[in-house]
Amino acid sequence: MSKKYQVVGIGNAVVDVLSHVEDEFLVKNGIEKGIMTLIDLERAAAIYEKIGPSIEISGGSAANTIAGLAQLGARTAYVSKVKDDQLGAIFTHDMRAQGATYEVPLADAGHEAETGRCMVMVSPDAERSMNTYLGVSEFLTPDDIDEAMMAEADWIYLEGYRFDGPESHAAFAKAIAACKGAGGRVSLTLSDPFCVERHRDAFRDMIRDHVDLLFCNEHEMRAMYEDEDLSVALRLAADEVDTVACTVGADGAYIWRDGIEVHAPADPARIVDVTGAGDLFAAGFFYGELNGYDTLTTGRMGCVAAGEIISHIGARPEADLKALFAKYELI
């Protein structure tokens, strides 16, 4: 009998605040290009005052993946904390409207932190630099993990960014135990090379002991295994995990499974904003995985979903992903 959920994601719930900036703006304001930097509310307010007119779209790495999977018809749930405020209502609406279960109790209106937000600053070359105020999503604790939900999941999908939260390691451990105890499997995304630097040992322990499917990009993979040679790093990862799916930008993705490497090429795309590329790669890849497609097709599904997301502003899919899979003759 199939379980209630195919994938349950756990990550940082944030609303993205998207704006266009020149590279000069990043330099002048000490914002590191291409990566995610955590900031406090004061710094968030200071930067927000300087950026141009913005657009608000629900985001969050694992949340984007779950939204993509829900749009593809998978049975999904999402776990993270937002507050009982207007941005929390927006995030909650968008997650449920996409078809995902999202039932984590709201942080009380009296909580000193607000719903998290991520200032996504898109450069003319489509690269994004993210400054994230985690807000209440930082306070995800083991209490927020519903063990019954984890036991009802074929897969749980853990967002590496959440390693920055003080109590989230314990929350992850609780989720993993409940999921694996009921025969489920565990996937992890490394999220960001600097996040890997901050938590390499914790990541490594989790990968070795619990992870069945590892998502990353080339920079995160190199940081994780401390080897500039991607193929070396990939082999090290492949020794520890059943399946490793590593994106390599315009070159698509390399997937290691059962000792075999498969290269899934990406399609040429007009790149508007790379935000969410890895998140939607994971969504497409999971779709193939859940539905028993071969490794190459599964990887290609990831690439096609990623290609959709980089063709427009925002990290939630606008086009019908299944129609795109059909267009590329993957289904």
By CB under 8 A, name the binding residues for a copy of itself. Answer: 48-49, 51-58, 67, 85-87, 90, 93-94, 97-98, 114-115, 314, 316
For residues 163 and 40, give the distance between their C-alpha atoms in angstroms, rounded to a whole number. Answer: 17
Nearer to a copy of itself, 58 or 76 (CB): 58
* Rounded distance between C-alpha atoms, residue 269 and residue 68, angstroms: 19
CB of 289 to a copy of itself, least distance (A): 24
Give the residue with the Cβ less far from a copy of itself, 57 or 186.
57
Contact yes or no for 106/115 (Cβ under 8 A)? no
Contact between 13 and 80 under an 8 Å Cβ cutoff? The reply is yes
Tell the smallest beta-carbon distance from residue 71 to a copy of itself (Å): 9
- As measured in angstroms, the least distance from the Cβ of 57 to a copy of itself is 5
CB of 227 to a copy of itself, least distance (A): 40
CA atoms within 13 A on the CB side of 152: 12
Cβ proximity to a copy of itself: between 113 and 182 the closer is 113
Please provide the distance, in angstroms rounded to a whole number, between the alpha carbons at the two ends of the chain.
24
Inter-residue contact 286 to 155 (CB < 8 Å): yes
Nearest Cα residue to 54 out of 44, 40, 65: 44
Instruction: Return the number of the residue (165 or 314) whose C-beta is nearest a copy of itself.
Output: 314
Nearest distance, CB of residue 84 and a copy of itself, angstroms: 12
Burial of 143 (0-12, 13-18, 19+ CB in 10 A): exposed
Name the residue nearer to a copy of itself (CB basis): 67 or 305. Answer: 67
